[in-house]
Amino acid sequence: MSRIGKKPVQVPAGITASVDGQKVTAKGPKGELFFVANDEVKLEFKDNAVSVTPVSDSKDARSKWGMSRTMIENIFKGVKDGYERKLEINGVGYRAALQGKNLQLQLGFSHDVVYEPPQGITIAVPKPTEIVVTGINKQQVGQVAAEIREYRGPEPYKGKGVKYAGERIVRKEGKKK
């Protein structure tokens, strides 16, 4: 039994939400998002809350029950507050800069890496060694941060590369004589 799925998702103040069959639409100050739920779950909108219930007691329906509720909660939070992911750059000569809307990275390659963010994502560089990715779609923000990190992930010997803020890199000992 899903503990997460049992709780209805309250619609926060300042957001208009509607349920049309399997589609939940949310409009807020940051923008508009929607989520189409699987046919294994049933959506209901009452008392300014969206409740999710499984159609049957099958394992497939129960596995999609909690996930659907979490996705609805994520779109409500996204259109109200938005999401942000911070990245840090470690290494001598490694730095980031904005070139218009594009992110220009110097990561020890013979050339600069230029990353063009997708629609709906904004990238800020408060310091040359810090990148902030923001947007209303949680999945898209995480995907963009992962793509930037992938250019030069942190290596275990000196910790050089791009890492998430707060990420702990397990360090290895160098070779001995």
The domain spans of the chain are: 3-80, 83-164
Q: Could you tell me which residues are beta bridge partners of residue 34?
A: 25
Superfamily of 3-80 according to CATH: Ribosomal protein L6 (3.90.930.12)
Half-sphere exposure of 23 (CA within 13 A, CB side): 4
CA distance 71 to 115: 28
pLDDT of residue 2: 61
Name the CATH topology of 83-164. Answer: Outer Surface Protein A; domain 3 (3.90.930)
CA distance 58 to 54: 9
pLDDT in tens, 47-93: 899 999 999 888 888 889 989 999 999 999 999 999 999 999 999 99
**Tokens 């999401």 sit on residue:** 83
Give CA angle at 161 (155, 165), nearest 5°.
Answer: 105
* Same CATH fold assignment for domains 3-80 and 83-164: yes
Q: What is the CA radius of gyration of the chain?
A: 21
Q: How far apart are the first and last CA of the chain?
A: 57
pLDDT in tens, 8-49: 999 988 899 999 989 999 999 999 999 999 999 999 998 899
Under 8 Å CB-to-CB from 50, ≥6 apart: which residues?
8, 9, 11, 17, 19, 24, 43, 44, 72
